[in-house]
Amino acid sequence: DAGVIQSPRHEVTEMGQEVTLRCKPISGHDYLFWYRQTMMRGLELLIYFNNNVPIDDSGMPEDRFSAKMPNASFSTLKIQPSEPRDSAVYFCASTIQGGGEKLFFGSGTQLSVL
Amino acid sequence: EDQVTQSPEALRLQEGESSSLNCSYTVSGLRGLFWYRQDPGKGPEFLFTLYSAGEEKEKERLKATLTKKESFLHITAPKPEDSATYLCAVQARGNTPLVFGKGTRLSVIA
């Protein structure tokens, strides 16, 4: 298996632009998580899905952030409009129920908002 | 609110110099404590899960231990390839998502 695949690896955009991050989880995994990592705050959970259904989005910082999972093999995290404080590394992770929370992470998307 | 505090923030060791990383936690009923390793430019990679006080897990030069309030990651005779950020996370009962600490950046110098 190729693991969790995220795209793009790097994204540089200007304030006010729309940003879309993409994630393909490991086949057969029924949980998908979006995390954001910064030096100041560490790794923070934004939202997670179970069987394509959003379970908890309380970590989404504000209405500018939205996430979807239209099917078991694809998820997006969208920021509109983007702001400089959104600059961070965004990780997607997946796991299988009963997997002892052994999360499998993608390589992340480094987002820079100028 | 579940919290995880890791110390030190950064640690620099000579090759072969053993040491320990600390993870203190507060959680409303611990289901599991997890250690991950993160290399620069990559996502965290799972190392261990500990479920109850007194439990220990080992992998090569790493050994993780757990008490009711904290966990230690002991590194014996480290090598430069052990350089990475080590993350600790806790999961409360009820199948809630993991809460991560900020990590310890370990540098092992040859």
pLDDT of residue A1: 64
Cα separation, B98 vs B34, in Å, equals: 9
User: How is residue B1 written in tokens?
Assistant: 């609110």
pLDDT of residue A61: 87
pLDDT of residue A100: 61
pLDDT of residue B90: 93
pLDDT of residue B96: 83
Mutate one of B35, B98, B99 to test the A interface: name it (highest A CB count within 10 A). B98
* Cβ <8 Å between A45 and B46: no
Work out the burial of residue A91: count CB atoms within 10 Å of its CB; fewer than 13 is exposed, 13-18 middle, 19 or more buried: buried
Q: Is the pLDDT of residue A98 over 90?
A: no
Band of pLDDT at residue A2, cut at 50, 70 and 90: confident
Cα separation, A114 vs B8, in Å, equals: 32
Band of pLDDT at residue A53, cut at 50, 70 and 90: very high
Q: Which candidate from B32, B41, B44 shows the least CB-CB separation from A101?
A: B32
Cα separation, A83 vs A86, in Å, equals: 6
**How close does chain A come to B41, measured CA to CA in Å?**
7
Q: Which candidate from A45, A100, A105 shows the least CB-CB separation from B44?
A: A105
**Contact status, residue A16 vs residue A30, Cβ threshold 8 Å:** no
List of residues 6+ apart from B63 with CB closer than 8 A: B56, B57, B73, B74, B76
Q: Which candidate from A44, A100, A108 shows the least CB-CB separation from B43?
A: A108
A81-85, A96-100, B22-26, B81-85: the lowest-pLDDT one: A96-100
pLDDT of residue A99: 58
Cα separation, B75 vs B96, in Å, equals: 29
**Contact status, residue B73 vs residue B20, Cβ threshold 8 Å:** yes
**How close does chain A come to B5, measured CA to CA in Å?**
11
pLDDT along chain B (110 residues), means of 10: 94 98 94 96 95 95 96 98 97 86 97
